[in-house]
Amino acid sequence: MTAVRVLLVDDHPIVRAGVRSLFDRRDDVEVVGEAASGEEAIALARHLHPDVVLCDLRLGDGMDGVQTTAALRAQHPAPAVIILTTFDRDAEILGAIEAGASGYLLKDVSPDVIVSAIRQAASGGLVLTPELSERVVEVMRAPRVRLTERELDVLRLLDTGSSNREIAKTLFVTEATVKTHLVHVFEKLGADSRARAVAIARESGLL
């Protein structure tokens, strides 16, 4: 059996070194490249054709992990993508999976979990830690909250502590319009007040 070819994507050199060292003494996994950004990862993957890409979600200023995943999955042949990250916000997990990730691991898992995840992903499987898979189905089952662009605008301004009047001013609309958007945001989020809305939005990762 030939070794699984892996591409590492993380903006922290230290983490890359850490992951790389996991495979140093193994002959079934081979690190064929490292990238510090999504852009770099895509370019590298185009030439290296890795079997699996191990990708962080937060990648500094450029593309994020979800965008990178989507771009990678659009390539031919498409590598399997495993998200390896510190954060476990529902929206990001869901986003990553929707974008075509075959796995989602938190960085505090033990090294051998990562190794086995890579092997499994290389053979086409889906990899989720038990707690995460539980959450995933839970969130999947709950109807996804879809906010319109405008509603997101007011929500973001809400988060800065703006009043309706201020939001109206910066969005160049009437205060009445803002209120209408807010009503819809409240409905969709199940909130009964602006304050609660931001709190909920924050929890579900919309902000």
Binding residues for DNA, rule: CB under 7 A, are 146, 148-151, 163-165, 171, 173-174, 176-177, 179-183, 186, 192-195
Q: Give the span between the Cα atoms of 16 and 34, in whole angstroms.
A: 7
Q: How far is CA 5 from the centre of its chain?
A: 23
By beta-carbon proximity to a copy of itself, the closer residue of 148 and 193 is: 193
Q: Give the span between the Cα atoms of 70 and 62, in whole angstroms.
A: 14
Q: Contact at 8 Å (CB) between 1 and 47?
A: no
Piece in contact with a copy of itself (CB under 8 A), picked from 16-24, 42-50, 94-102, 124-132: 16-24
Tokens of 167: 């939001």
Tokens of 78: 């498409």
- Partner from a copy of itself, DNA, none contacting 176, C-beta within 5 to 8 A by type: DNA
Establish if 62 lies at the interface with a copy of itself (CB under 8 A).
no
Tokens of 6: 């892996």
Interface residue with a copy of itself among 27, 108, 149, 187 (CB under 8 A) is 108
The structure tokens 């199940």 sit at 190
- Partner from DNA, a copy of itself, none contacting 114, C-beta within 5 to 8 A by type: a copy of itself
Q: How far apart are the first and last CA of the chain?
A: 45
- Partner from DNA, a copy of itself, none contacting 174, C-beta within 5 to 8 A by type: DNA
- Partner from DNA, a copy of itself, none contacting 25, C-beta within 5 to 8 A by type: none
By beta-carbon proximity to a copy of itself, the closer residue of 17 and 78 is: 17
Pairing of strands 29-35, 127-128: unpaired
Looking at residue 130, its amino acid is: P
Establish if 163 lies at the interface with a copy of itself (CB under 8 A).
yes
Q: How far is the CB of 122 from DNA (least distance, A)?
A: 36
Establish if 86 lies at the interface with a copy of itself (CB under 8 A).
yes
Which phi and psi (to 5°) does residue 38 adopt? Answer: -65, -45
The structure tokens 């809400």 sit at 158
Q: Residues interacting with a copy of itself, by CB under 8 A?
A: 11-22, 60, 86, 107-108, 110-111, 114, 158-163, 191, 193-200
